[in-house]
Amino acid sequence: MIFCLRRSPVGAGLSDRRTAAMVVNDNAGHLTPRGALRLFASKLAPAVLCVLLSIPGLANAFDLQQLSDQLAKPDVIHGNFIQEKHLRALPQPLTSKGAFVLAKNHGLLWLLKTPLQQDYRITAKGIARRDANGWQTLPGKSAGAEQNRLFLAVLQGDSSGLQRDFELSLSGEAQNWKLTLTPRSLLLKQVFNQINITGGELVHSIELLETQGDSTLLRMQDSTSGQPLSDAEQHDFAE
Amino acid sequence: MTLPSERTLPRLFLILLLAVLALAGWQWRDGAPLSANLMELVPGTAPDALELRAEQRMQEPLNREMLVLVGHKDRQQAVAMAQKLGEQWQASGLFEKVQWTLQADLPALRTQLLQGRLAMLSATDRQQLIEHPDAFIQQRVQALFDPFTGFSLVPSQDDWLGLTGRIQNSQPQHGSVQLDIGSGALVADADGKSWVLLRARTTGNAFDMNLPLQVADLLKHSREEAAQSDVQLLAASGLLYAAAGQQQATREMTWVGGGATVGILLLLLLAFRRWRVLLAFVPVLVGMLFGAVACVALFGHMHVMTLVLGSSLIGVAVDYPLHYLSKSWSLKPWHSWPALRLTLPGLTLSLITSCIGYLALAWTPFPALTQIAVFSAAGLLGAYLSAVCLLPALLKGADLRPAQWPLRVSEYLLDRREALLRIARTPVLLALLIAFCVGGLLQLDSKNDIRQWVGAPQQLTDEAQTIARITGYQPTSQFFLVRAANQQALLERQTALSERLDQLVNLDKLQGYLSLNQLVSQPHEQHKVREALNKLPQFWQPLLDVGVPLEALKTELATLQALPVEDIDSALAGPLAEPWRTLWLGPTEDGVAAMVSLQGLNNPALLRVQARDLPGVELVDRLGELNNVFAQTQISAAELKLASCVLIVLVLILPFGLGGALRIVSLPLLAALCSLASLGWLGQPLTLFSLFGLLLVTAISVDYAILMREQVGGAAVSLLGTLLAALTTWLSFGLLAVSSTPAVSNFGLSVSLGLAFSFLLAPWAGRQVHATSVAESAA
């Protein structure tokens, strides 16, 4: 009789379901598109934007490395931006203007001025928006620690993120270059066709081409790297 | 010396044996008719087909899926390893699907979002649209210019009002798992590492005999491979528990079965000093065969748990030959057939009482015990028949010269007893014993939990808990079953339930839940949204100001008005609905039904309260119910025990008279009481299984009392027979105590204790030789 007992599972499958074996069970659904939606909404735009404001270390080619070093140099950049959203259905783009402050060790201040006024801040703590009561960290975004880490890593010249997600190609020279980012993953390919960045000493423009036909053009103007953070700006980052 | 009937008996038995063997061969024609599904062994408490279906739906993934976290300090390395393992696993052929990246079908998502703009809007957004349309428009304008929140799956020109963006953002967020946008992997960060989620769905389920072991094996190899790259794997799956259970059962079978066999054979050799005496093991083998055949014949299959517990039958079955073999100490010369004739009435009585004890188990609501009872009763019958019909023929002419030292041991023991009785009379001893029992019983705790059936290795539960911590998913086995006459009523009832669950979530008593009303709102809510949209033109000037064409807004409004009311079925069709899909049970006999699943629960009692006055809402808590059944069964088991004793008394009145029968039965009962008290003194809990063990021991130890009372060949020889029988039984049952399955070990412990006390008390069975045995001795 013993011979048939070799393959005998006692307790088969009746795991302690109060603990986490059932993790498997419920994950089944949660790992699917729903998660993706939030992540797209909360992460992609800021990540891409911020990453690009100071191109991360691009270690594998000499040119990219040079560009990376060049962009990592300034501690603080002040400038103005014009954002144009070109929507297929609109003859005119949705245009907004404002100013930005990028500080190497702090983060980014994005101060939208027209057509409506709104201040944003991206730091290690997350994305915050200023209202009458001061800076409010956007709900659900504080959890997106990953995007902030990515962003900060980028600010500090650590390159691991971007090259994994995008195919990079650089053309031109130090004072007039163009960097093209093509998404690698299937997921990103369904969203973006391409991202184009141009610049010289600093970044001049960023263009996002979406698969749906819309595009966003961000132009940075009057960027300067000479000016330190003002007290108010330091206060904004500190708060 | 040999009667004619004793010549034909062996032949008749051989014919029967051949027939049973043929039947066994036929039963095993398609492989072993073994089952490993533990749920088959616990009482079916779900009376209602719908509840059963809901339960199966919730359990199914548990037994087919494996979740693995691949962790490394460097995210890229973790992703690379996940990819590598994913490819290897896919190629292994064990899995139907292995997934480590998110394969989002964006066009389908967009379609669903656009289609569900009225039905999928969250309650908060609905409220804002209805009560504060101006703020609603203002937020939309902001979003259009916001570079940080402005990304939406659906392009702005298809959704100027931004309803899809709101739906996107209001989707319940789960755990701390994030999408790594570059690789498409799902990653959680914890303990200084990045953990990539890898999910695999097997082709079969955890109750296939081979699959769990293969999966566990593959995982082991993957772990080793990963470790070389400094990557750590954490895994959780019902399959792994199944594999661990199988390995454990195999190990324990070897220990219990092998240990008992070796021990008993050694004992036989030591006591009787003849190789031929090993033939006494024939009844054991025949008993096992009969047990297995009867089990398969009655239940269609045999559970492995039956085999583990049934293997202890070895020790009981070998008692039959021992009964007459032990007479070789008093009968000189010893001949097999006369020895059998002498002990036959005792053997038969012993068979009847043991069977009564075992079959009493069959009346508990546990299919497991019913199987064990059938297996054991049939096994005992087989062992008895072979001991009575076949073995004497095999042992014919054997010249038994047993070792004398066992007899001296039992004589010494009897002397000690006499010495003890000189110091303290029986009533005094009884009083002491009762004091011992009372003291122990006062300390006895009762404990019943389905988890005692599972000896899950600590490492597995630890890993599963770590995964729960890292990912933030803590599913619970409890869920709500909601029934209603139609979909509208169902959603209403779910909304009522959601309101209560939300309160628990706010109080941190519950981490979250999934309910269909989160996916699709009630039809009348959808109407309200439609009405609110009609009023929107009064408020949308800010959108026109930033350049959105009036025509576009009007067209969109018209499209929205034309959207049909979504019902549950259409809402479940899209990719967004995947997590909810299992919750929908669809039309039932009297309406529709759905489940509400729960996450991260810390107090099950709170849940029951939630459902109390909600019509159609019911909490399904299988574990809780099972534990209740356990507790109730404990009481009915005690009743069964008493009933079986009454039956045994009735059987024994015939040979021993009422007084003798009562005395013989009271000894095992007292032994059982002492065992209970010992459990108390030892600090061991009283479980259902210890009670079952005692139920069994009562039946077995009646034998010892009978043996001692009959005193064939004198007190010392009878005590020796009892000692041998107790030792062999203990060798098989006692070994169960080392099992790492708490239920089995509990069973073993209580039987061991019971046997020890039965042996100690057996000499009090009385000494007067009565009529029946005199007649036998003369025969």
Q: Do A10 and B36 touch (CB under 8 A)?
A: yes
**Cβ <8 Å between B76 and A12:** no
**CB contact B354 to A (< 8 Å):** no
Residue closest to A103 by CA, chosen among A201, A199, A238: A238
Nearest to B349 by CA among B642, B640, B639, B650: B650
Q: Is the ipTM of this complex over 0.85?
A: no
Question: Which of A53-62, B171-180, B201-210 has the highest average model confidence (pLDDT)?
Answer: B201-210
Pairwise CB contact (< 8 Å): A31 & B546: no
Between residues B497 and B740, the one the model is more confident about:
B497
| Residues of A in Cβ contact (< 8 Å) with B258 | 2
Out of B292-296, B359-363, B770-774, which region has the weakest mean confidence (pLDDT)? B770-774
Taking the Cβ of residue B142 and every Cβ of chain A, the question of whether any pair is shorter than 8 Å is answered with yes
Mutate to test the interface with B, among A24, A118, A181, A217 (most CBs of B within 10 A): A24
Per the domain annotation, does A110 fall within a domain?
yes
Q: Would you state the pLDDT for residue B182?
A: 66
Nearest Cα of chain A lies from the Cα of B224 at a distance, in angstroms, of 22
Task: State percent of chain A over pLDDT 70.
Answer: 61
Cβ distance B173 to A143 less than 8 Å, yes or no, reads: yes
Cβ contact B575–A33 (<8 Å): yes
pLDDT at B451: 64
Interval A209-238 mean pLDDT: 85
Put simply, whether A210 touches B (Cβ < 8 Å) is: yes
Q: Does the pLDDT value for residue B252 go beyond 80? A: no
Give the residue, A156 or B19, on which the prediction is more confident: B19
Task: For residues B18 and A4, give the distance between their C-alpha atoms in angstroms, rounded to a whole number.
Answer: 20
Q: Check B236 against A20: CB less than 8 A apart.
A: yes
A120 to chain B: closest CA residue: B148
pLDDT (tens digit per residue) in A58-111: 444 446 777 777 877 888 889 999 989 888 878 888 888 999 888 877 878 889
- For A166, nearest residue in chain B (alpha carbons): B182
Residue A68 placed within a domain: yes
CB atoms within 10 A of CB B427: 8
A31 touching B (Cβ < 8 Å) = yes
Q: Give pLDDT, residue B141.
A: 87
Give me the residue from B153, B182, B197 closest to A164, CB to CB. B182
pLDDT tens digits for B354-365?
A: 888 788 778 777
CA angle B345, B350, B356 (to 5 degrees): 130
Contacts of B443 (CB under 8 A, 6+ apart): B680, B681, B683
CB pairs under 8 A between A and B: 364
Closest Cβ–Cβ partner in B101, B237, B578 for A21: B237
Is A3 part of a structural domain of the chain? no
A22 assigned to some structural domain: no
- What pLDDT score does B42 carry? 66
Least confident of A97-101, B152-156, B224-228, B513-517: B152-156
User: How far is the C-alpha of B579 from the C-alpha of A207, rounded, in Å?
Assistant: 36
pLDDT at B493: 93
| In the predicted structure, residue B245 carries a pLDDT above the cut 70 | yes
CB-CB: which of A25, A140, A212 is closest to B61?
A25
Average pLDDT, chain B: 83
Question: A54 in a domain, yes or no?
Answer: no
For residues B349 and B706, give the distance between their C-alpha atoms in angstroms, rounded to a whole number: 8
pLDDT of residue B43: 66
Chain-chain contact of B207 with A12 (C-beta, under 8 angstroms): yes
* Least Cα separation, residue A195 to chain B (angstroms): 14
Answer yes or no: is A175 within a domain: yes
A185-194, B207-216, B379-388: which has the highest mean pLDDT?
A: B379-388
Residue A104 placed within a domain: yes
- Answer yes or no: is pLDDT of A8 > 60: no
Residues 59-98 of B with CB under 8 A from A: 59, 61-63, 65-67, 74-76
- What the block records as the tokens of B255 is 């220990």
pLDDT at position B537 is 92
pLDDT greater at residue A68 or residue B262:
B262
Instruction: Give me the residues of B, 471-530, that contact A with CB < 8 A.
Output: 471, 473-477, 514
Where do we find the tokens 């990953």? A146
Confidence at residue B332, expressed as pLDDT on a 0 to 100 scale: 74
pLDDT tens sequence across B71-130: 999 888 898 899 999 999 989 888 888 888 776 677 888 888 899 898 998 888 999 999
On the question of pLDDT at A23 being above 60, the answer is: no
- Given a cut of 50, is residue A44 above it in pLDDT? no
* Percent of chain B clearing pLDDT 70 (strictly above): 93
What would the pLDDT profile of B126-159 be if each residue is shown by its tens digit? 999 999 999 999 888 888 887 665 456 788 888 8
**Exposure of A104 by Cβ count < 10 A (0-12 exposed, 13-18 middle, 19+ buried)?**
middle
For residue B372, is pLDDT > 50?
A: yes
> Which one has a higher pLDDT value, A138 or B649?
B649
Domain that holds residue A86: 59-238
Say yes or no for a CB contact (<8 Å) between B292 and A18.
no
HSE value, Cβ hemisphere, 13 Å, CA-based, for A58: 25
Is the pTM higher than 0.80? The answer reads no
Give the integer Cα–Cα distance in Å for B393 and B685. 47
Nearest chain A alpha carbon to B246: A9
- Residue with more model confidence, A115 or A42: A115
pLDDT value, residue B8: 83
Contacts of B58 in chain A (CB under 8 A): 25
- pLDDT tens by residue, B165-180: 888 877 766 567 777 7
Residue A94: give its domain's CATH number.
2.50.20.10
Residues 6+ apart with CB under 8 A from B568: B487, B490, B491, B516, B520, B584, B592, B594
User: Would you list the DSSP string of B621-674?
Assistant: -HHHHHHHHHHHHHHHHHHHHHHHHHHHHHHHHHHHHHHHHHHHHHHHHHHHHH
Q: According to the model, what pLDDT value does residue A19 have?
A: 32
Residue whose structure tokens are 């869920």 = B479
Would you state the pLDDT for residue B554? Answer: 92
> Which residue on chain B is closest to A20 by alpha carbon?
B464
Instruction: Note which residues in 595-634 of chain B have CB less than 8 A from chain A.
Output: 597, 599, 623
Q: Residue B454: pLDDT band by 50, 70, 90 thresholds?
A: low
Contact B689, B452 (CB under 8 A): yes
> What is the DSSP annotation of B671-708?
HHHHHHHHHHHHTPPB-HHHHHHHHHHHHHHHHHHHHH
pLDDT band at residue A22 using 50, 70 and 90 as cut-offs? very low
Q: Which residues of B touch A40 (CB under 8 A)?
A: 151, 153, 168, 181
CA distance B290 to chain A (A): 11
Residue A155 or B502, more confident: B502
Q: Testing the interface with A: which of B27, B137, B139, B148 to mutate, by most A Cβ within 10 A?
A: B148
What's the domain count of chain A?
A: 1
- Out of A164-178, B203-217, B644-658, the most confident range is B644-658
Q: Does A48 fall in a domain?
A: no
- Please say if the pLDDT value at position B220 is more than 60: yes
- Binned at pLDDT 50, 70 and 90, residue B598 comes out as confident
Cβ <8 Å between B552 and A46: no
Among chain B residues, CA nearest to A115:
B546
Indicate the DSSP class of residue B766: -
Q: What pLDDT was estimated at residue B592?
A: 92
